[in-house]
């Protein structure tokens, strides 16, 4: 039976987690609209709104990608209930982002089309948007049935190249300040790395907890090396000097450190959750004896 509303299950019962996420997904868009109306978006409000909508699009793509690893690491299977909603929201934010861009170009669709063709970062963004449209259009229960589980899964693996395109689009438009795109690239490394490790070393797709800690370190090292390689190739900065910045207190919070902190925080929550589940099981066994 198809779900009646995004916040209900197949038996049409309210699922609080789904309702909470559904409401939360409107938050950023509501804030952008409100801040725009209230004049809180600075000297170039439309440009700022485009940026906010773009940021939320990429964040939501990443959150949708994070659902599978997090439900395993945190032993929270019900998280899967919100994956489709988050993915469709990413598509909605991408449309919002594009609409704001069309608005900033005074609705001159011809100009927007020619910009998309001539500016590489827009072409890449548009390719990502097309990919997201295919995923959103096939996200219904009916489409899963029509395509069949295997074909549907194969099509939805498109989310990986879409996430890569999103990071490239983000990096290309960022010009000089690559702090956040570098963090996103590192997190993408974590998300993709989880799949590779789970496939290679996992048991039925589940990765043992120590691997999750190892992954956090690998993703951070990858981020540091990627950043150093970029600065070396683009600006001939000495590799070791960029790498040394990751250990300096004067260079602010480096992307590799942020990626490490997020990876370790995810692992720590997973570790605590594991301990509490084991404790609960032990108490249950003891109460039965």
Residues at the contact surface with ligand HEM, assessed by CB under 6 A: 47, 50-51, 54-55, 57-58, 94, 97-98, 101, 116, 122, 125-126, 128-129, 132, 166, 169-170, 173-174
- Pairwise CA distance, residues 91 & 8, whole Å: 21
**Considering the complex, what minimum distance in angstroms separates the CB of residue 33 from ligand HEM?**
17
Q: In the bound complex, what is the minimum distance in angstroms from residue 127's beta carbon to ligand HEM?
A: 8
- Using an 8 Å Cβ cutoff, are 92 and 28 in contact? no
Contact 7, 19 (CB under 8 A): yes
Of 50 and 207, the one with the shorter C-beta distance to ligand HEM is 50
Residue 32 or 228 with smaller CB distance to ligand HEM: 32
Closest CA to 244 of 226, 228, 258, 233: 228
Cα 59 to Cα 61: distance, rounded to the nearest angstrom: 6
Q: Measured from the CB atom, is 116 or 216 closer to ligand HEM? A: 116
- Min dist. Cβ of residue 128 to ligand HEM (A): 4
Smallest distance, Å, CB 50 to ligand HEM? 5
Residue pair 97/57 in contact (Cβ under 8 Å)? The answer is yes
DSSP characters over 78-90: GGGGGHHHHHHHH
Between 101 and 194, name the residue whose CB sits nearer to ligand HEM.
101
Give least dist CB 65 to ligand HEM, A: 12
Rounded-to-5 percentages of helix, strand, coil across the chain: 80, 0, 20
Closest distance to ligand HEM from the beta carbon of 10 (Å)? 30
Separation between Cα atoms, residue 209 and residue 278, nearest integer Å: 14
By beta-carbon proximity to ligand HEM, the closer residue of 170 and 211 is 170
Cβ distance to ligand HEM smaller for residue 113 or 196? 113
For the chain, what is the radius of gyration of the CA atoms? 21
Report whether 245 contacts 231 (CB < 8 A).
no
Rounded to whole angstroms, how far apart are CA atoms 255 and 178? 9
Angle, helix 120-137 to helix 83-104, in steps of 10 degrees: 140
CB of 52 to ligand HEM, least distance (A): 7
Residue nearest to ligand HEM (CB): 54
Nearer to ligand HEM, 157 or 283 (CB): 157
């Amino acid at each position: 039976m198809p779900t009646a509303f995004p916040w209900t299950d197949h038996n049409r019962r309210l699922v609080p987690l789904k309702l909470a996420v559904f409401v939360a997904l409107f938050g950023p868009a509501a804030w952008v609209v409100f801040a725009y109306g209230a004049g809180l978006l600075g000297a170039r409000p439309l440009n700022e709104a485009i940026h906010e909508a773009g940021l939320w699009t990429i964040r939501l793509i990443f959150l949708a990608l994070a659902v599978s690893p997090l439900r395993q690491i945190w032993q929270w299977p019900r998280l899967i209930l919100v994956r489709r909603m988050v993915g469709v929201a990413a598509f909605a934010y991408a449309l919002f982002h594009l609409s704001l861009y069309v608005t900033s170009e005074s609705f001159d669709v011809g100009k927007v089309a020619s910009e998309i063709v001539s500016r590489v970062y827009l072409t890449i963004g548009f390719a990502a948007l097309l990919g997201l449209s295919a995923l959103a259009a096939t996200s219904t229960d009916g489409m899963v049935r029509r395509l069949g589980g295997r074909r549907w899964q194969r099509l939805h693996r498109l989310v990986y190249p879409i996430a890569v395109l999103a990071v490239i689009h983000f990096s290309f438009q960022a010009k000089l300040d690559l702090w956040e795109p570098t963090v996103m690239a590192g997190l993408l490394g974590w998300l993709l790395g989880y799949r590779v490790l789970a496939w290679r070393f996992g048991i039925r797709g589940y990765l043992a907890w120590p691997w999750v800690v190892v992954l956090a370190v690998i993703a951070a090292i990858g981020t540091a090396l990627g950043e150093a390689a970029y600065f070396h190739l683009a600006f001939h900065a000495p590799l070791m000097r960029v790498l040394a910045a990751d250990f300096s207190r004067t260079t602010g919070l480096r992307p590799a450190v942020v990626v490490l902190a997020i990876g370790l925080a995810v692992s720590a929550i997973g570790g605590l959750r594991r301990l509490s589940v084991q404790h609960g099981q032990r108490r249950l066994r003891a109460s039965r004896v």
